[in-house]
Amino acid sequence: MIDKDDLIDALALKPFGQKGWIRNREACPYCGKPDKWGILIEGNSKIFHCFRCGEKTSLFNYLKKIGRVDLCESDYKVSKNNLLKSVENEEPIVNENEVIELPFGLKPLTNDAYLNSRGFTQEHYAEFEPSYTDSPLEENLNNYIVFKLKQGESIVGWLARSRYTKEWHKQNLRESKKKGIPPMLRYRNSENGFVKIVGGVNFIGNETKIVIVVEGLFDKINVDKLLDLRKGDVVACVFTFGKKISGDQANILLSLEIETLILLYDGDAMEQSKEASITLGKKFKVLVAKIEDKTLDPGDMDITQLSKALGGATDPMNFYLNNIEGIS
């Protein structure tokens, strides 16, 4: 651990500004400029940030940069998301993919009106741990909800979703194009990519035989709500972060001894559904559900629409033949 009092004494750090920042008069070790950097110690999170060059890293990495690793009291370092790494070899202790740095200063959401209106249950809160941050270091995540993505007990990624509506983002995109500035993104994600992650995989249990595959988190939430699905049920719903499924994602599902997969991609994802069914059909019994309304996705469906789509699910060959242009 890094003791705050020892750190302040050893580096002659003094408070500045608000929110608990501390610094000294030395130059930033990354850009060489003085007076524009700071250290913030908040709970178990300890970070260094230079407001001039933009460098943002763990306090351990800063101490390593200035040659003061001796200020660490034991044989581990703390990254921005409090994941522990060995000082000697810097290999992560957990997480089969890679160390995932969560946004700084996350605060939990436990009874959020918007999430509740979308169908979030206590199981969803426990699994995805929705949170927000108002840290000055994460200004690009203002008004976003951050969801943790897990495989087993390990955090393998995070997904942030704007609280603004689709219509707001469409208008923002038009205005941004006129002004020549970047638009506000509807989603922001961890940098590791999602091709090796199946969202909601922990909802699959030993008794699960049928898995419904959708594109996004809120598609899953709505399917869970409409079908009253719970962790470990015979039927589960997972998401693939888009209209395609990778070989790694297929292998994750294969390892869980599932009998049947039902693809339930958005109404505008006809070609992608065909491709995914071919990929998955080599390893599973696959059914493909067609959403007739191309403007509709599973996150917006009611029980009648969902029942119709699932009830009409067919094998990939029939799905393909029934959806070739010109064949009725």
141 within a domain of the structure (yes/no): yes
Q: Who's near 227: CB < 8 A, 6+ residues apart?
A: 235, 237, 306
Q: What digits encode the pLDDT tens for the residues 274-327?
A: 666 666 666 678 888 888 888 888 999 999 999 999 998 887 656 565 655 544
Which residue type is seen at 55? Answer: E
Q: Is the pLDDT of residue 273 over 80?
A: no
CA-angle at 170, arms to 167 and 171, nearest 5°: 90
72 lies in some domain: yes
Domain that holds residue 151: 107-189
pLDDT category, 135, cuts 50, 70, 90?
Answer: confident
My answer on whether 117 and 80 are in the same domain is no
Examine the pLDDT at 84 and tell me if it is beyond 60: no
| Residues 209, 184 share a domain | no
Is residue 177 located within the same domain as residue 213? no
For residue 262, give the DSSP letter: E
Whole-structure pTM value = 0.68
Are 205 and 306 found together in one domain? Answer: yes
How far apart CA 261 and CA 211 sit, in angstroms, is: 5
The pLDDT of residue 85: 30
Angle between helix axes 270-281 and 247-254 (nearest 10 degrees) is 50
pLDDT bucket at 39, cuts 50 / 70 / 90 = confident
Contact 2, 73 (CB under 8 A): yes
> Are residue 162 and residue 226 in the same domain, yes or no?
no
Residues 232 and 310 in one domain: yes
> Is the Cβ–Cβ distance between 160 and 144 less than 8 Å?
yes
Domain final position from 147, 168, 189 = 189
Residue 280 lies in a domain: yes
CATH of the domain at 214: 3.40.1360.10
Q: Let me know if residue 97 belongs to a domain.
A: no
Residues 6+ positions from 265 with CB-CB distance below 8 Å: 213, 214, 215, 243, 272, 273, 276, 291
Q: At a CB cut-off of 8 Å and minimum separation 6, what does 292 contact? A: 267, 308, 309
Are the C-beta atoms of residues 102 and 146 closer than 8 Å to each other? Answer: yes
C-beta separation of 296 from 267 below 8 A: yes
Q: Which of 189, 222, 250 is the last residue of a domain?
A: 189
As a whole number of angstroms, the distance between CA 34 and CA 56 comes to 16
- For the chain, what is the domain count? 3
93 lies in a domain?
no
Query: What's the pLDDT at 243?
Result: 79
209 lies in the same domain as 260: yes
Q: Is the Cβ–Cβ distance between 82 and 92 less than 8 Å?
A: no
| Distance in angstroms (rounded) separating the CA atoms of residues 257 and 243 | 23
Residue 17 placed within a domain: yes
- Determine the average pLDDT of the residues in 97-119: 86
Residue 184 lies in a domain: yes
Please provide the size of the chain in residues.
Answer: 328
Q: Do 206 and 184 belong together in one domain?
A: no
Q: Same structural domain for residues 136 and 221?
A: no
Q: Per the domain annotation, does 263 fall within a domain?
A: yes
Rounded to an integer, what is the distance from CA 8 to the centroid of its chain? 35
pLDDT exceeding 90 applies to what percent of the chain?
33
- Tell me: do 246 and 318 sit in the same domain: yes
Tally of CB atoms within 10 A around 26: 13
Point out the domain boundary residue: 189, 216, 249: 189
Distance CA(289)–CA(262), nearest Å, equals 7
208 and 296 assigned to the same domain? yes
Pair 263, 182 in one domain: no
Q: What tokens does 280 get? A: 């998955």
**In the numeric block, which tokens belong to residue 315?**
């094998």
Three-state SS at 177: helix
